[in-house]
């Protein structure tokens, strides 16, 4: 039952600005909250008050042995009006980055993670092709401001999820239901990523830095027919995989057309320095929705727990290009922290058994946070947050993760102590 991490593999944690920082009311998710769309009424302008408490959180990371942190920045805070930048907000992020470096924690900075400034949302955001130049202008400002403090960037987090939930299902901002708009957004985001990749490299090269690494974070799933005997389920499975996943994989990596995405004019090459994989679950295909298998292990949101999928998706990307692999998100909603240790063990072990060059694993997430439409009701953290007092407490899974970092793997004793628990299953 014991295993060692792959040579050079490091364990870290991840977070997104809107989900933890608080203190900003000029973004698209606060607007959604005002419309009463958050399940438990949680206020993202409070979140975990990380913007105020970042020093405490950083110290807690160091105490847990964490040396890699995927963090986000709030665009609405940094550019509250188009072309108008808040220099104090940039200084704040520089202070946070400096502290992380002093504590021996390396940042991986995500530039866009689902949330838009209201002025950008009002103009159509990524549905408007002018978004490309606007986004690149923001990227330029960010990279110049952070300078040598950040060498690794994620340009855009989960463009397929952003487009699907916001413009196909209409559940997230801007709340549209349009296939045409969905693909328009994906195409514009693809151009944003590819041009930002080149821009970040060029800017940092001019600053004298040769250690730049850039990618986008790709939400990946396993797609399988819910009923293998059902011909419609079998037909829809590869179609859904292509529309949601493989077309994005190829277009964002290469800039080449992969229906339904078009090519990015004038761009050739590879536009990722590493593959960034966000993985959570498996989709049971019955059509073009998102369903789950029956009589399988599930988390507190009803998502199937399917560890082999993390390895399969890493292999899927590696076949496209033999690049290093970062798992930029993987975690589970376990509100009582009963099975998270087993979940961590099984997913990380599955990665280590692939033999692929998996260099990073960022657990989603560090602290409990504002989990989008589910608000504070869905806890993904290895650190518990009392949202009434903002007190942080390391969970049992956090203690396990700390030991895993210290041991560079899992011993038999650790497995016996933390991982011998049963998952709950969904019903037939």
Tens of pLDDT, residues 86-109: 999 999 999 999 999 999 999 999
Sequence-ordered list of residues with C-beta below 8 angstroms from that of 96, at least 6 positions apart, any chain: 54, 58, 71
* pLDDT value at residue 265: 85
- For 291-349, how does the pLDDT look when each residue is reduced to its tens digit (9 = 90+)? 899 999 999 999 999 999 999 999 999 999 999 999 999 999 999 999 999 999 999 99
Task: Give me the count of residues in the chain.
Answer: 428
Binned at pLDDT 50, 70 and 90, residue 198 comes out as very high
What number is the average pLDDT over the span 123-127? 98
Phi-psi domain of 170 (left: phi exceeds 0; alpha: psi -120 through 50; beta: other)? left
| DSSP code for 367 | B
* pLDDT value at residue 247: 97
For 30, the token pair is: 């606060």
- For 223-280, how does the pLDDT look when each residue is reduced to its tens digit (9 = 90+)? 999 999 999 999 999 999 999 999 999 999 999 999 999 999 878 899 999 999 999 9
pLDDT tops 90 at residue 370: yes
Averaged confidence pLDDT in the chain:
97
* pLDDT value at residue 289: 75
Binned at pLDDT 50, 70 and 90, residue 379 comes out as very high
Number of neighbouring beta carbons within 10 Å of residue 419: 18
* pLDDT value at residue 416: 97
CA–CA dist 16, 158 (Å, integer): 12
| DSSP code for 242 | I
Bridge partners of 360? 10, 326
* pLDDT value at residue 368: 98
pLDDT tops 80 at residue 423: yes
* pLDDT value at residue 267: 82
Torsions phi, psi of 235, nearest 5? -65, -40
* Ordered structural domains, the chain, with CATH: 3-421 (3.20.20.80)
> pTM to 2 decimals?
0.97
CB 85 within 8 A of CB 91: no
pLDDT tops 90 at residue 190: yes
What number is the average pLDDT over the span 17-27? 98
CB 354 within 8 A of CB 312: no
User: Given the DSSP bridges, would you call strands 10-14 and 3-4 parallel, antiparallel or unpaired?
Assistant: unpaired
Secondary structure of residue 315 in the 3-state scheme: helix
- How far apart, in Å, are the Cα atoms of 388 and each of 48, 385, 392, 426? 10, 9, 11, 32
pLDDT tops 90 at residue 181: yes
CA–CA dist 227, 225 (Å, integer): 5
What number is the average pLDDT over the span 167-191? 97
Task: Catalogue the E-assigned strands of 243-396.
Answer: 275-285, 297-298, 325-330, 358-364, 383-386, 391-394
Separation of first and last alpha carbons in the chain: 31
Percent of the chain with pLDDT over 90: 97
Percent of the chain with pLDDT over 70: 100
CB 166 within 8 A of CB 106: no
pLDDT tops 60 at residue 428: no
CB 56 within 8 A of CB 350: no
CB 69 within 8 A of CB 13: yes
* pLDDT value at residue 122: 98
Q: Which residue has the tokens 């200084």?
A: 91
* pLDDT value at residue 288: 80
Binned at pLDDT 50, 70 and 90, residue 147 comes out as very high
């Amino acid at each position: 039952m014991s295993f060692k991490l792959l040579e050079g593999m490091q364990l870290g944690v991840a977070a997104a600005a809107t989900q933890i920082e608080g203190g900003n009311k000029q973004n698209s998710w606060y607007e959604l909250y005002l419309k009463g769309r958050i399940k438990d009424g949680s206020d993202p302008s409070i979140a975990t008050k990380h913007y105020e408490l970042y020093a405490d959180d950083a110290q807690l990371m160091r105490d847990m042995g964490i040396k890699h942190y995927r963090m986000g920045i709030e665009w609405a805070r940094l550019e509250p009006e188009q072309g108008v930048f808040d220099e104090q907000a940039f200084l704040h992020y520089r202070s946070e980055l400096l502290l992380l470096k002093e504590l021996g924690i390396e940042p991986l900075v995500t530039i866009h993670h689902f949330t838009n400034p209201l002025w950008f949302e009002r103009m159509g955001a990524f549905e408007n092709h002018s978004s490309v130049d606007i986004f690149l202008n923001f990227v330029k400002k960010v990279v110049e401001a952070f300078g040598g403090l950040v060498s690794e960037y994620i340009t855009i987090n989960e463009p397929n999820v952003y487009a699907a939930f916001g413009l196909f299902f209409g559940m997230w901002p801007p709340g549209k239901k349009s296939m045409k708009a969905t693909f328009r957004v994906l195409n514009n985001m693809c151009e944003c990523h590819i041009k930002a990749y080149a821009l970040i490299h060029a800017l940092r090269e001019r600053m004298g830095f040769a250690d730049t690494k850039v990618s986008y974070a790709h939400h990946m799933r396993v797609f399988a027919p819910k009923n293998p005997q059902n011909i419609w389920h079998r037909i829809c499975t590869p179609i859904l995989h292509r529309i949601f996943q493989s077309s994005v994989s190829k277009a964002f990596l290469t800039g080449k057309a992969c229906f339904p995405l078009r090519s990015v004019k004038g761009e050739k090459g590879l536009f990722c320095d590493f593959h960034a994989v966000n993985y959570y679950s498996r989709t049971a295909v019955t059509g073009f929705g998102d369903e789950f298998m029956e009589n399988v292990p599930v988390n507190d949101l009803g998502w199937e727990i399917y560890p082999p999928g993390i390895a399969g998706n890493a292999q899927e990307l590696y076949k496209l290009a033999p690049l290093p692999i970062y798992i930029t998100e993987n975690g589970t909603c376990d509100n009582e922290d009963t099975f998270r240790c087993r979940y961590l063990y099984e997913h990380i072990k599955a990665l280590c058994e692939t033999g692929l060059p998996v260099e990073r694993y960022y657990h989603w997430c560090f602290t409990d946070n504002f989990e989008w439409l589910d608000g504070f009701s869905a806890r993904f953290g290895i650190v518990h947050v009392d949202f009434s007092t903002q007190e942080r407490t390391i969970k049992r899974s956090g203690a396990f993760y700390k030991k895993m970092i210290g041991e560079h793997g899992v011993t038999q004793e650790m497995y016996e102590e933390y991982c011998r628990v049963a998952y709950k299953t969904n019903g037939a």
